Amino acid sequence: MPSIKEITTKCKAGQIQESYELAKAGLEQLPNDPWTQRAMGWALYYLIKNDTDSANYQSLIAHLDELNALDQLAIPYDNMLFESVLFKIAGYVKTHILPTSIDSPTKLSAIFSKLRKYNFDASRGYSFLLQSFIKCDAWLEMADFLDWWNLGKLTAEDYTLFQMKNGKTIMSVAERAFIAKSKALLRLNDLGRIEEFLPQMDDLVEKHPEMTYPGYFYGRMLLTLGDTRDEALRVILPFARKKATEFWVWQLISDVFTHEPDKQLACLLRAVNCKTPENFLGKVRIKLAAIYIQRNQLDRAKYQIDKVTQCYLSHGWHLPYEIESWIHQPWINTVAPNDSAPIDYMAITNAILCVGTEEAVAIVTYVDPNSHKVTLIYGRKKRTSQKLRFRVGLGAVLKINYITETEENLRVLSAGQTRFPTNLDYAKVVEGTVIKRTDKNFAFLKTDNGDFYISPNLVRKHNLIDKETINSLIVLDYNKKKESWEWICVSIKK
C-alpha cells in the first residue's frame, strides 16, 4: 500500500494523477483502512489544489465528493489535511466566486453542502473560509452557513482591523461576519432566529464599542420584534439610551416615526449632528434632503445635497441616484444652502428617549465643586448622585426623567428647572427663627414643627444672624455620619 509520504512526494514532483491512481488502487484493496484513506486524502488535496488554481469548478466538486466518502478520516487526527483543503476552498471562493455573478449562489450552495457534515475547529483556514463566503451577503443560505460555521469560533485575530498597504483600515472579519448574519436574518424575517441571535449581538456591541455598524443592525433586529410603533420603541429604547451619541441610533429610530414627520426629522437631524465621520452620513442626509424638498425648504435640502456630493466625490464614489437626480433640477442653482434646523430637534429627541421612564421632582442638596456631581433627593428616602448636563445650585428644583438600572442605581436621562410643588412629603417650605450661637459657624431654624440644621455655607451666603425670621426650603436628606435621614435647610429666602 502506498504511504502518505510516497503520495505527497510524487504530488510535489508534479506526478499528481499518478499518485491519485496509486492511492485509489490501494483504497480498492483496503477501503476501510484509515492510513489508506489518509493517503487518498492527500492525493485528493493536490487534485483540489489544481482545481482551485485552474478554476475548474466541476472537477473541484467531484473531488470534494470523493474526500467526503473517506469515512475513516477525522478532524482531530487529520487536521493538517483538512486545514490545507479549507485554505484552497476559501481561496477559490475568494478569487473565482463573485457576488455579482448569476451562478455564484448555486456554486456557494454546492460547496457548502460538501462541508457542512464536518465540525471544524477554530483555525486560520476556517477563518479564511468565513471571510471568503461572507462577501456574498445576498446568498440565501448565508444564515445557515453562519449557523454551521459558528461565530463562537472566531479567533482573536478575527477581531482585529485589517490594515491595507495604503494605510487605510477595513472592518475586521468578526464585524463583517456579524453584519452578514444580521442581514441574512433580517432578509428571512425569521423572528425566532433573530431573538436567538440577539444575545450574541448584545455581547458584541457591549465588548466592542469601536465597531460602528453591528449596533445598527442590532437595533434593526430589535425593531423587527415590535409589532407596533409603541412596541418597537419599547424594544429599542433601552439600547438607544446607552448609545444615544451614535448616529445610527437616530437613523434607526427615525424609521419608527415615518408617520410623524417632525419626530422623524428631529431624529435625522440629531443623527447628522452626532460626532460622526461624514462618509457614514450619506443615507441620513439623503433622507433629510427628501423631507426638506417635500416641505419646499429647498435651501435646507441644498445644504444636505452639497454635503453628500462633496463627500462622495472626495472619495471617488459614484453619486447616489437621488443626488444625481436632484443636482440636475433647475432649482438647485437658485438657492443658497442653509444648515439651520427648523425645529428644536434636541428637545424632541430627548423626549423620545424619556418615553416610558419614571418621572419625579428632585431637589439638589449638594454640589461637588470638583466633579460637579449633584446630590438629588427625588422621593421620600430616595437619593442619588448624578452629573447633569448643566450647572445647578443648592436647592434647585428639577423635574427629572430616569430609569432604574439596578436596585441601587438609577440614571437620569433628562432634567430641567421646574416650579416647586406643595404636595411633596420629602421637601417643604417652612418659616421660622434663626438660632445661631456666636461661637458656631452653623445654625438651626426653629419652627413650630421642629428645629432644622442650617449649614455654614448657607449661614455665610445669607449672612444669617440670631433671631431673624426667614423662609427655607427643607429636604429630608441622608446624614452619612449619623446614618439616619434628617430634615435640613437647602435654600433660604429672607
The whole-angstrom separation of Cα 148 and Cα 118 is 9
The alpha carbon of residue 425 and the mean position of all alpha carbons in its chain are separated, in whole angstroms, by 42
Instruction: Note down pLDDT in tens along the chain; length 494 residues.
Output: 678 888 888 888 888 899 889 988 888 899 899 999 999 999 999 999 999 999 999 999 999 999 999 999 998 899 999 999 999 999 999 999 998 899 999 999 999 999 999 999 999 999 999 999 999 988 999 999 999 999 999 999 999 987 777 777 788 999 999 999 999 999 999 999 999 999 999 899 888 888 877 888 888 888 888 776 777 787 788 888 888 998 989 998 998 898 899 999 999 999 999 989 999 999 999 999 999 999 999 999 999 999 999 999 999 999 999 999 999 999 999 999 999 999 999 999 999 999 888 999 999 999 998 888 999 999 999 999 998 888 899 999 999 999 887 666 788 888 989 999 989 999 999 999 999 998 899 999 999 889 999 999 999 999 999 999 999 999 999 998 889 999 999 999 88
| Burial grade of 294 (CB within 10 A; 0-12, 13-18, 19 or more) | exposed
Q: Which pLDDT value is given to residue 414?
A: 87
The alpha carbon dihedral of 310, 315, 316, 318 has a sign of negative
Are the C-beta atoms of residues 426 and 380 closer than 8 Å to each other? yes
In this structure, what DSSP letter does residue 470 have? E
Q: What is the maximum span of the chain, computed from C-alpha positions, in angstroms?
A: 114
What's the pLDDT at 421? 92
Contacts of 409 (CB under 8 A, 6+ apart): none
Three-state SS sequence of 18-63: HHHHHHHHHHHHCCCCHHHHHHHHHHHHHHHHHHHHCCCHHHHHHH
Helices (H), 208-297: 213-224, 229-242, 247-254, 261-272, 282-294
Instruction: State the pLDDT at residue 59.
Output: 95
Q: Taking the CA atoms of 122, 128, 131 and 134 in sequence, report the sign of the dihedral they define.
A: negative
Spatial distance between the Cα atoms of 107 and 90, rounded to a whole number of angstroms: 13
Residue 90 is predicted with a pLDDT of 96
Report the relative pairing of strands 358-367 and 397-406 from DSSP bridges: antiparallel
Q: Which residues pair with 231 in a beta bridge?
A: none
Q: What is the model's pLDDT at position 206?
A: 83
Q: Name residue, grid cell 432634567.
A: 415
Angle of the 173-188 helix axis to the 124-133 helix axis, nearest 10:
50
Q: 2: closest CA among 75, 32, 72, 30?
A: 30
How much helix, strand and coil, in percent to the nearest 5, is found in the chain?
50, 15, 30
Q: Around Cβ 20, how many Cβ atoms within 10 Å?
A: 21
Spatial CB neighbours of 238, under 8 Å, sequence gap ≥ 6? 403
Report the pLDDT value the prediction gives residue 407, as an integer from 0 to 100.
63
How far is it, in rounded angstroms, from Cα 174 to Cα 187?
A: 20
In this structure, are residues 128 and 87 in contact, taking their beta carbons and an 8 Å threshold?
yes
**Which burial class, exposed, middle or buried, applies to 61 when counting CB atoms under 10 A from its CB (0-12, 13-18, 19+)?**
middle
**Interacting residues of 317 by C-beta distance below 8 A, sequence separation 6+:** none
Distance between alpha carbon 391 and the CA centroid of its chain, in Å? Answer: 31
Phi, psi of 35, rounded to the nearest 5 degrees:
-70, -35
